[in-house]
Structure 1
């Protein structure tokens, strides 16, 4: 039988006891007013921890600790070397947010904007730290250890669809910002978010919601003992039309089944997930089309845009502890498919048939991770060494076809890609004194790929590798304040088709420049975290991130393409205040300066890079009786082209929730989304498009996707 390791190593293994990672003050944790609506309370009880490392977590629900927490500073508060911008979110906090779409719950991560510029079945668009991250280019997303970002994807490098997320199943979320952490590799330069589902629920949950614009949702979650473990099953179905002239006609279903045994330290789980969705999309539209009366604000210039997608996965994790430390392993296989129909430029390229195109992505992904954490000492000082390996292989069919009303006209490309990668990482963590902790590590990544293109000149093989240092220093606490210094290298991979291609598949007479396979980044951060006021945690971080090549959205192809080198620096201020056990406040502000770092007469502004992101919220409620939440989100103006002559307008939104929990386990809640009926934009771009009758070269204009008008959603839930 395995033996438990010393308690300093045990603490941060559990996804519910990451006090050192989360940076939550003991008072705030024990009195956390951030709570879900009682509709979710059965699955997501508030989690309380104390400052004493040996104290177990309190709360009925337990997250699968196979992935979140614990492996980025496994030694808990004694040995964890973190940053001022890293943190931990409980499922209760996540589910206290009234949101329009599932992905928006991740806006609980300070400074993160999660929005949409198309139909509800398409991946969300992300903004963080002065990045337009498109659909995931430089933010790495994981669910139960599975990577969600898709490399060499039909619609954009790093495409990460989280529309299948079931928020009520989330037990814990761990986030990092910057490329400072050894577990983070591809797509993680701006940050990473790891989401962990629950293993069991204390009470089964049945929930139904109805709302404006044809919104309907039904959710069921149940768990039961089975053999020596527990079986959890969940099913989530949703339909939604939206306010659009051509209804979204979203139809989606997401299911989960998990069997687990043991604990976070000694146990395993096997999880299957299935998801399918189809929709019609109202994509971004030109302002001039609305001004000229061609369409209304919620209209479309191509009513056949949209698509369908599916995702099936099987994953497992295993953990074991003994007197040498902790061993962890996980593995997954994923099958996904996407058919996406978009028309961003209308009649710019083909005045007769229009510019709609079909992007096809079919893939099977397999991979896993294994690690061991050794606990020991260095000259009598507590020390941990973490060694890990990661691997991933994508077998992909990726295609681009010209279409009219979703009907095939001609092929542009239809390629087969096999892309594989492996990584080795090491991290040494030492507590030298009561006020000094260090982390010294590195990560080595290797990539290899083969492209078989229907344009033979674009076929080929590619290899690349990169080694990045990861350094951290923690000083304090002094006067309830810790100081952090972080440095690290990161990278994102480019679409490997751009690495092997030599000619433009749409115009074979034109040669194209090859893109680098791996693009390095370098990050720096200095920050502090203060807990001198009971219940209040405030953190401040100054950061800089340099990128050798920026990926930018291209409106005529609907993809991201490599561009010029960039530099970002900024400040981030985060506040969490548990005023009472039943009332909590939040407030976050990020200000970033993003510029191209080389000279070009076209300008040095990075298109769509946000300068200011802010949010605030208040959450109240008791286990029985009234509960509610009010959230504010500000998405500041952004340059849309390099010379800053075209800019977006700011977006300011309020969402609120109020509800009542009865003693019999039934709860009722009402969400009001876009409370002030703001007529602002979800997302804005500027690029050349052409409407009928316009010059052949087209016109550059703002194109926007509007925020949905005020909507209400009523939810009734029962726990049994």
Structure 2
């Protein structure tokens, strides 16, 4: 650990300025282009343009050859001259123009390709952009999805960190489950970029980022005003609009809103509705960018829940039926977010953000039916009212240490969650509270600091980082017969060490390693003590990105992850509890291929092995851990036509520790076609185009139906959508 402190002290004490070149990148319309990649062909140093199109390229002089590239513009190859402004032309999508950049996030270019060739239409599809990430809905459309990635049944977000514009989506010590990540407040039409990676290898990623992270960035500007109407089966309608309120070189303000309603495909109508509102103001000046954004969403729904297989087999209900059709809930979230990006000088910058989130949640579930209460049933209510505040600051500097280019960041952060009346109760028909099981107030604080340094030795990049997180957990138990306010605290260091070798513009190798962690629920920490508060993960990736031909990109990684503690979902109580140590390992393989100028093929396959290390062989399976997954798409962009045919496969998985029950796999395909004529776009969306019979989520659960003498332990499932057709009409003006 002392070696990390020495590196950071060395960086701060011995930095000196190197020769550098300042430039700017603009469009034909004289508008700045951000996130442009500038590569010095002579020595492989590189830079990215900021929101003003400006960049500083270290170790560069007049006459050096440079490559300037962006996912939406034609690559420009030129030499550095006294004229420091460069103009890029809009280009059709072409893998031929993609350069394998020397980014430690080796999936950086893959993400940019996928965004361009596979536009998304829902928050669920945003998450599916991560290769190997699967989601499932099992309690109506208003509840956060269940997430599967890298041999994890992540539940609703225990081991993946998700953020939007720096705002954490995950909610710690949540009424339903640790790390609960409800992304439904984000409108996909407002997303500008998606950044993701797997593993816990980056110092600026903290709690819950064990299997990986996903960061979404919203647009600073929109090109057009637009309105859209979507109509589909099962009484589905969605109406939305995006409007420019202010659009100048120095200022931008736009609004986006949508309303969705559907009964869904279940026998008992969901009566689901969701309202989304979003507005963002951005101010640009000579050396900084300030943005202020507001999110709001609210949703309510009914749900059919998870149903036992025997009830379907016996003809008591159909596949889309319900044992308790009074399940469901309502939720809302309002967020204000402030961001300030400041260019301090040509080699240093400061980023600061602050957010405030107000959140309400009420969920009714019934997992075991009449197991505990043969008269009234086992329905439970989970409820909370939450206020979350956060502040983050990061300082970044480009420097030179004895002719070695170095980029380092220093960051600090604060997050506080105040949860009032977090409740678990036994209820009847969503109307009557029969018994309070848990009721209290939570106050959870997380202070963090990190340092990160990136050294460039020609073709080799060495990245080292160290992060420290301090947590305080406070719980006031309102059901105690006497005043009971308990607290515990703990800190954790998370070192990182990564290597990237850029063999040439077509091939790079990465070796990543790091320690991560996920915090436990405050109530679990108070009950179990400090020992199980912040279980750590230890992981490593060895992979490559290769472009063997101009129109083919391949990527692969072998990986390993050890976790000090798992979470086991307890269905009859509706909570999570800690379990033992586990290890996971596997391989990821990806392919991006451009068959013609207008046809693209994407494919990702993963194989994962997940086992408990503290159980005997044959009793050490991790329930619902995905083994084999496949995601593929064939996308078309030609003239006024665009579309994609997407398929996903999730293999059979063990449903319990001894693998005596199996969660059946599925293969499902979707279709999306669009035609643009003048200002109008007509689209057709088809989910499950082959009308496959599949189960979206599955659990081993002990339950008892009304009238049954004994309980039965078997698979309980939520059926996946049948053939579902929707049409969309969009008008831009």
Bin for the TM-score computed over the shorter chain: 0.7 to 0.9
Matched, 1:240 2:267: no
| Aligned equivalents of 2:176, 2:346: Cα separation in 1 | 48
Matched, 1:378 2:401: yes
Residue pair 1:501, 1:514 contacting (<8 A) in 2 also = no
Task: For 1:452-463, list aligned pairs within 5 A.
Answer: 452-456=476-480, 459-463=485-489
Task: For 1:516-531, list aligned pairs within 5 A.
Answer: 516-531=532-547
| Aligned equivalents of 1:633, 1:206: Cα separation in 2 | 31
Aligned to 1:668: 682
Matched, 1:649 2:681: no
- Higher relative CO (Cα under 8 Å, sequence separation at least 6) belongs to 1
Deviates more, 1:593-602 or 1:416-425: 593-602
Matched, 1:420 2:445: yes
Say if 1:59 and 1:520 are closer, same or farther in 2 by CA, change over 3 A.
farther
Matched, 1:294 2:309: no
1:628 to 643, 652, 656: 643
Task: For 1:70-89, list aligned pairs within 5 A.
Answer: 80-83=103-106, 88-89=111-112
Residue pair 2:245, 2:255 contacting (<8 A) in 1 also = no
Residue pair 2:100, 2:507 contacting (<8 A) in 1 also = no
Residue pair 1:440, 1:471 contacting (<8 A) in 2 also = yes
Give the TM-score normalised by structure 1.
0.87
Aligned to 1:702: 715
Secondary structure of residue in 2 paired with 1:461: strand
Which digits, 9 at most, give the CA deviation of each residue in 1:612-666, with x for residues without a partner? Answer: 11011011123x422211001001111000001111111110000122110x210
Give the TM-score normalised by structure 2.
0.86
Say if 1:345 and 1:59 are closer, same or farther in 2 by CA, change over 3 A.
farther
Matched, 1:469 2:495: yes
Say if 1:248 and 1:91 are closer, same or farther in 2 by CA, change over 3 A.
farther
**How many residues are paired up?**
661
Say if 1:342 and 1:364 are closer, same or farther in 2 by CA, change over 3 A.
same
Say if 1:302 and 1:311 are closer, same or farther in 2 by CA, change over 3 A.
same
1:179 to 185, 200, 205: 200
Residue pair 1:82, 1:472 contacting (<8 A) in 2 also = no
| Aligned equivalents of 1:643, 1:56: Cα separation in 2 | 62
Between structure 1 and structure 2, the one with the greater Rg is 2
Matched, 1:395 2:418: yes
Which digits, 9 at most, give the CA deviation of each residue in 1:5-29, with x for residues without a partner? Answer: 9569999x98744699xxxxxxxxx
Which digits, 9 at most, give the CA deviation of each residue in 1:663-720, with x for residues without a partner? Answer: x210101111101101011011112111123344x21110111111101000000110
Secondary structure of residue in 2 paired with 1:493: coil
| Aligned equivalents of 2:457, 2:37: Cα separation in 1 | 21
Task: For 1:141-152, list aligned pairs within 5 A.
Answer: 141-152=162-173
Aligned to 1:65: none
Aligned to 1:25: none
| Aligned equivalents of 2:668, 2:101: Cα separation in 1 | 40
Say if 1:102 and 1:226 are closer, same or farther in 2 by CA, change over 3 A.
closer
Aligned to 1:481: 507
Aligned to 2:46: none
| Aligned equivalents of 1:403, 1:514: Cα separation in 2 | 33
Secondary structure of residue in 1 paired with 2:595: strand
Say if 1:324 and 1:19 are closer, same or farther in 2 by CA, change over 3 A.
closer
Aligned to 2:56: none
Residue pair 2:107, 2:196 contacting (<8 A) in 1 also = no
Matched, 1:490 2:516: yes
Secondary structure of residue in 1 paired with 2:126: helix
Say if 1:277 and 1:579 are closer, same or farther in 2 by CA, change over 3 A.
same
Say if 1:550 and 1:151 are closer, same or farther in 2 by CA, change over 3 A.
same
Say if 1:254 and 1:91 are closer, same or farther in 2 by CA, change over 3 A.
farther
Say if 1:661 and 1:343 are closer, same or farther in 2 by CA, change over 3 A.
same
| Aligned equivalents of 2:652, 2:86: Cα separation in 1 | 46
| Aligned equivalents of 1:659, 1:347: Cα separation in 2 | 48
Secondary structure of residue in 1 paired with 2:147: strand
| Aligned equivalents of 2:90, 2:310: Cα separation in 1 | 55
Secondary structure of residue in 1 paired with 2:220: strand
Aligned to 1:213: 234
Q: Shift in Å at residue 414 of structure 1?
A: 1.2
Deviates more, 1:247-256 or 1:555-564: 555-564
| Aligned equivalents of 1:17, 1:524: Cα separation in 2 | 30
| Aligned equivalents of 1:86, 1:150: Cα separation in 2 | 30
1:684 to 698, 702, 709: 698
Aligned to 2:217: 196
Say if 1:280 and 1:695 are closer, same or farther in 2 by CA, change over 3 A.
same
| Aligned equivalents of 1:174, 1:414: Cα separation in 2 | 38
Say if 1:134 and 1:85 are closer, same or farther in 2 by CA, change over 3 A.
farther
Say if 1:499 and 1:634 are closer, same or farther in 2 by CA, change over 3 A.
same
2:368 to 336, 342, 345: 345
Say if 1:417 and 1:613 are closer, same or farther in 2 by CA, change over 3 A.
same
| Aligned equivalents of 2:86, 2:267: Cα separation in 1 | 56
Q: Shift in Å at residue 264 of structure 1?
A: 11
Which digits, 9 at most, give the CA deviation of each residue in 1:341-360, with x for residues without a partner? Answer: 00010011111111001100
Q: Shift in Å at residue 96 of structure 1?
A: 2.5
Say if 1:52 and 1:493 are closer, same or farther in 2 by CA, change over 3 A.
farther
| Aligned equivalents of 1:209, 1:479: Cα separation in 2 | 43
Matched, 1:114 2:135: yes
Q: Shift in Å at residue 265 of structure 1?
A: 6.8
Q: Shift in Å at residue 591 of structure 1?
A: 0.3
Structure 1, unpaired ranges of 5+: 21-44, 61-75, 503-512
1:138 to 153, 159, 180: 159
Residue pair 1:82, 1:484 contacting (<8 A) in 2 also = no
Matched, 1:442 2:460: no
Secondary structure of residue in 2 paired with 1:199: coil
Q: What is the CA RMSD across the aligned residues, in angstroms? A: 2.6
Q: Shift in Å at residue 52 of structure 1?
A: 6.2
Deviates more, 1:47-56 or 1:214-223: 47-56
Deviates more, 1:107-116 or 1:330-339: 107-116
Which digits, 9 at most, give the CA deviation of each residue in 1:132-161, with x for residues without a partner? Answer: 111111011101110000000010000010
